Amino acid sequence: MAAASDPVELGAPWGPARPEPPPTRFHPVHGANIRVDPSGTRATRVESFAHGVCFSREPLAPGQVFLVEIEEKELGWCGHLRLGLTALDPASLAAVPEFSLPDLVSLGHTWVFAITRHHNRVPREGRPEAEALAPSCPPALLVEPHLCIEQFRIPRDRLVGRSRPGLYSHLLDQLYELNMLPPTARRSRLGVLFCPRPDGTADMHIVINGEDMGPSARGLPAAQPLYAVVDVFASTKSVRLVQVEYGLPSLQTLCRLVIQRSVVHRLAIDGLHLPKGLKDFCKYE
């Protein structure tokens, strides 16, 4: 079970003193309308618009991102995915609430927000509210390979959504990189994490396509296990987990980056003399 740790210096590498978190999976306890695939990485709401609450299988480690990609949308519903953290053990719930908001939150020790771009930020004490609402600088998304959130430094590559391979995917991918699409668009990537503070509390941050939206909640109990909450609500029908690389990028990832930068668009990867598995990885990841 993960527990809060002492703050890590900005840029400190994952290693023996700071073990890389295990792969994320969905908890077997979830809403009545959710079906989780055998791998534990895909959650789909099979009917209605509610009873779609999911949890992480394990508590998150400090700085670990629980990252989901929106795979399917369903027309006809009003509302979108909701995301947050809870100190409640999912296995201890008598029944999973129908909604994360307000039902799960009303049980206490839970912080969940509907996904919007700027309205969930809270200012620090003594700082103006306008500072909390100010957007990040979009150009930095294209030049900075790491996302720095308080004391944590996270490779940005896996945090950003990607369009489906096509003739114009190289143009659409830039919209994800600049975070110019609606935050709950199909194939957007949304993450939640917590950052411990010296006073024993933690800040919760929500990340949209590689951009930190700022602290969404403060005063979380950093010493208690904190589980991710994903509510596959209304127009959001299916999500899949995306694994984040925290240390040095894998050889597979380095190969993908080099190959993607060497072609005009991802469909051109099909014409390269490469193993099919590597070509699929370069096209879809």
CATH of the domain at 279: 1.10.750
Instruction: Examine the pLDDT at 130 and tell me if it is beyond 60.
Output: no
Q: Quick one: average pLDDT of 114-140?
A: 57
118 with 209, same domain? Answer: yes
CA-CA distance, 199 to 176, in Å (whole number)?
36
Look up the CATH number of the domain holding residue 196. Answer: 2.60.120.920
**Sheet order of strands, 236-242 included:** 34-36, 42-45, 236-242, 66-73, 189-196, 201-208, 211-221
pLDDT of residue 4: 45
In a domain, 109, yes or no: yes
Do 258 and 240 fall into the same domain? no
Q: How confident is the model at residue 133 (pLDDT cuts 50, 70, 90)?
A: very low
How many domains are there within the chain? 2
138 within domain boundaries: no
In this structure, of 24-28, 120-124, 140-144, 246-250, the range with the lowest mean pLDDT score is: 140-144
Do both 209 and 261 map to the same domain?
Answer: no
pLDDT at 136 over 50: no
pLDDT for res 7: 44
The pTM is what? 0.82
Let me know whether 116 and 170 are in one domain: yes
- Maximum Cα–Cα distance for the chain, whole Å? 59
- Among 132-146, 175-189, 241-255, the range scoring the smallest mean pLDDT is 132-146
Cα separation, 134 vs 199, whole angstroms: 26
pLDDT of 139 higher than 90: no
Residue 151 and residue 81 in one domain: yes
Residue 94 in any domain: the answer is yes
Same domain (yes/no): 118, 180 = yes
Same domain (yes/no): 213, 201: yes
Tens of pLDDT, residue by residue over 209-242, are 999 999 999 999 999 999 999 999 999 999 999 9
The per-residue pLDDT for range 22-71, each reduced to its tens digit, is 899 999 999 999 999 999 999 999 999 999 999 999 999 999 999 999 99
Residues 186 and 255 occupy one common structural domain: no
**pLDDT tens figures, 141-169:** 445 788 999 989 898 888 999 887 776 67
Q: Higher confidence at residue 130 or residue 127?
A: 127
Specify whether 224 is located in the same domain as 255.
Answer: no
Among 23-32, 90-99, 181-190, 264-273, the range scoring the smallest mean pLDDT is 264-273
pLDDT exceeding 90 applies to what percent of the chain?
57
* Pair (232, 273) in one structural domain: no
- Confirm whether 212 is domain-assigned: yes
CB contact at 8 A, 244 and 193: no
Residue 56 lies in a domain: yes
In a domain, 130, yes or no: no
Do 180 and 256 fall within a single domain?
no
Residues 207 and 258 placed together within one structural domain of the fold:
no
The whole domain housing 212 covers: 26-122+143-247
Query: Is residue 74 domain-resident?
Result: yes
Asked, for residue 131, whether it belongs to a domain, the answer is: no
Provide the b/e sequence for 174-192 (b: ≥16 CB within 10 Å): eebbbbebebbbbbbbbbb
What is the CA 119 to chain-centroid distance, rounded?
Answer: 17
User: Is 25 in contact with 56 (CB distance < 8 Å)?
Assistant: yes
Average pLDDT over all residues of the chain: 84
Instruction: For residue 96, give the amino acid letter.
Output: V
